[in-house]
Structure 1
Amino acid sequence: MCGRFVLFTTGDSLIEATETALGRSVVAPQGTPEPRYNLAPTQIIPIVRLGEEMLLEPARWGLFPHWKKDDSGPPLFNARGETVAEKPSFRDAFKQQRCLIPLDGYYEWHEKKPYFVSLGDGLMWAAGLWSTGLDQLSTTMVTTESVEPIAWLHNRLPRFLEQGEIDQWLFGSPEDAKELLHPVSQEWVKRLSVREVSSDVGNVRNDHVGLLD
């Protein structure tokens, strides 16, 4: 799973990285976020989605399906890849409201110790879904089973998209997108860096660069 992450790439650097990943121009009509070091469910995170043009926009992390009548219940911040195409909470968004979630890294806990997972050479792009239920843009992150050599850390892993998979996820048909509902390649996972970090990350009120120490 992924319940906390980091995004310190912001401003023009975030726009440029997004345009490079997509190979097309991107606009951020509401600007880009400030650096964040402890993003948690129900907070606002940036997503990349297709509107009249490619948009980088703020969204609540925790999907509100279009049929949701209130904000009760646990936040839908992760969607299992094994069931995302059929589960009522996600299936409509999966058909035509897929997005990217940019991360500089994320936190995972193992034996009560927090670890920071990062690629080391740029942003990671997680497969996501978006919706506008309750008149609010919201999102969820797709996860899959974990793979070696990181499976020791947790049995779930965000479905990170490799460069050649981004267009298929964003612009493909539902059938095209279903072809990506498997774990990211082991070769990609081997590029990840994992290191223990400060236990202060356990408190969502802590949000500073020192959490990565």
Structure 2
Amino acid sequence: MCGRFVLFTTAEALIDAAGVHFAQVSAPQGTPGPRYNLAPTQVIPILREGVIEPARWGLLPHWKKDETGPPLFNARSETVATKPSFRDAYRHHRCLIPMNGYYEWHEKKPQFVSLGGDDSELMWAAGLYATGLGKLSATMLTTDSAPPIEWLHDRMPRFLSDEEIPAWLAGEDMAGSLTPPELLSRFVVRPAAREVGNVRNDYPELIAADQ
């Protein structure tokens, strides 16, 4: 699963990175400032159809009558194509969720996962969006974990390789598939600051705990 993540690549740098996957990229509402402890129900940026937009992290399907109940911030890849909460978005509303890394807890201690140990490199998670209750909202797919980070947690976000992104956005059926091994081999895990457990804490030192 993924319940906290980090995105500090912002402004033109985020637009430039997204431009690798779209001929033109715009952010009509701007891009958010750097965030080091994004949590469910908060606003996150998503990339859809070449536009970076703010969305609630926690899907609001068209049939939702209010925002009560557990937020749908993760969608299991194995059942996303058939589960009522996600199947419409899976068929028609794909997006990308950018992040510089995410947090996971192992033996009650927070860990930070990034790509290649270079925190500035973006990771692209497979996302779905909806517009229920008149709001843009999103969720990210999760899968079984795999080496080299299977020890960390039994679930993880479904990250997309550059080669997979066009197929994902085009609606190809990828339910149940795992993050490619060649991408996973570059993941690095290190201890994070315990203060990340409080969502009110949001600063760079959270990802740079003393070793």
**TM-score, structure 1 normalization:** 0.94
Match for residue 94 of structure 1?
A: 90
Distance between the aligned counterparts of 1:210 and 1:162, measured in 2?
28
1:188, CA displacement in angstroms? 1.2
Deviant stretches of 4+, over 3 Å: none
Supply the distance in 2 between the matched residues of 1:43 and 1:144 (Cα, whole angstroms): 22
Q: What's the offset of the Cα at 1:185?
A: 1.7
Partner deviation per Cα, 1:131-164 (whole Å, 9 max, x = no partner): 0000000000000000011000000010000011
In structure 1, how many angstroms separate the alpha carbons of the residues matched to 2:102 and 2:156?
10
After TM superposition, list the pairs within 5 Å mapping 1:1-213 onto structure 2. Answer: 1-20=1-20, 22-50=21-49, 54-119=50-115, 120-121=117-118, 122-172=121-171, 176=172, 178-179=173-174, 181-213=176-208
Give unpaired runs (5+ residues) of structure 2.
none
Q: Counterparts of 2:23 and 2:122 in 1: how far apart (Å)?
A: 17
Matched pairs, number? 205
Q: What is the TM-score when the length of structure 2 is the normalising length? A: 0.95
**5+ long unaligned stretches in structure 1:** none
* 1:54-106 per-position Cα deviation (integer Å, ceiling 9, x unaligned): 11000000000011001110000000000000000000011110000000000
1:179 CA displacement: 3.2
- 2:113 corresponds to which letter in structure 1? V
1-side partners of 2:99 and 2:175: how far apart? 19
RMSD over equivalenced CA pairs, Å: 0.9
Paired residues of 1:169 and 1:180 also in contact (CA < 8 A):
no
Deviation at 1:23, TM superposition (A): 4.2
How far apart are the structure 2 equivalents of 1:16 and 1:188? 21
Return the letter of the residue paired with 1:194.
V
**More helix per residue: 1 or 2?**
1
SS in 2 for 1:163: coil
**Is the Cα contact below 8 Å between 2:168 and 2:174 reproduced in 1?**
no
After superposing the two structures, state which structure 1 stretch, 55-64 or 23-32, moved more: 23-32
